[in-house]
Amino acid sequence: MSQEKVDKYKAEKANRKKNIKKQKLQNALHKCVIGVIGLALIGWIGYSAYNTYQTNRPVDEIQIDYSAVDELPQELSQAREAEAAETPAE
């Protein structure tokens, strides 16, 4: 081997632990980024599916009977008149 190759090998050997640590850190970072992107994609798909399901569901119509509210003033006035008729005038 030439001296150049020997020097290169020694430099690689001297930095081997540092390079392996750097590669492990990069691999972990890549896995985390891919995991976050995957979770975001799954969340978006789930939200879209739920939204589609909700928009396609039939809407329940509710009817409210306001007749009791409309008749309340009339019933109160009748009750007042009846009460006034029951109490003797002084």
Residue-wise pLDDT tens digits, 3-27: 899 988 888 888 899 999 999 999 9
Structure token digits, residue 87: 């109490």
Q: How many CA atoms lie within 13 A of 89 on its CB side?
A: 1
Q: Biggest alpha carbon distance in the chain? A: 131
**Average per-residue pLDDT in the chain?**
90
Q: How many CA atoms lie within 13 A of 87 on its CB side?
A: 7
Query: Can you give the pLDDT at residue 26?
Result: 97
- How far apart are the C-alpha atoms of 15 and 27, rounded to whole Å? 18
Structure token digits, residue 81: 């008149």
pTM for this structure?
Answer: 0.52
User: Can you give the residue ranges of every domain in the chain?
Assistant: 1-56
Helix (H/G/I), strand (E/B), else coil: 83: helix
> Which is higher by pLDDT, 84 or 51?
51
pLDDT digits (tens, 9 = 90+) for 41-78: 999 999 999 999 998 888 888 888 888 888 889 999 99
